[in-house]
């Protein structure tokens, strides 16, 4: 399995941890990927991007495509 390392600002990390705590507490048993950490959330999003090539019609691919298009990327 490939390992990817990247940095984000400390303030963003703190904000994400707080947000994920809210997500995790709201519906702990009814999510597709279970308890999220910043790392597992990033992996989930990268997996969704990967669906653009292996499962282009899936809801994951379609939703992440909308995000990429909103950022100006042409698919």
pLDDT (tens digit per residue) in 15-28: 999 999 998 988 77
Residue 45 lies in a domain: yes
**60 lies in which domain range?**
37-75
pLDDT for the residue 11: 98
CA gap 23, 31 in Å, rounded: 10
DSSP 8: -
pLDDT for the residue 22: 93
Residue 5 lies in a domain: no
CA gap 73, 9 in Å, rounded: 24
Closest listed residue to residue 37, CA positions, set 23, 55, 53: 23
Structurally, how many domains does the chain consist of? 1
pLDDT for the residue 75: 87
Residue 71 lies in a domain: yes
Residue 59 lies in a domain: yes
pTM (2 d.p.): 0.85
Q: What is the pLDDT along the chain (75 residues), one digit of tens a residue?
A: 899 999 999 999 999 999 999 989 887 777 888 899 999 999 999 999 999 999 999 999 999 999 999 999 998
């Amino acid at each position: 399995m490939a390992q990817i390392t990247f940095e984000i600002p400390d303030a963003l990390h703190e904000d994400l941890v707080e947000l994920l705590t809210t997500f995790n507490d709201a519906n702990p048993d009814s999510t597709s990927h279970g308890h999220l950490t910043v790392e597992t959330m990033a992996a989930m999003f990268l997996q969704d991007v990967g669906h653009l090539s292996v499962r282009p019609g899936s809801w994951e691919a379609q939703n992440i495509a909308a995000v990429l298009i909103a950022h100006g990327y042409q698919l």
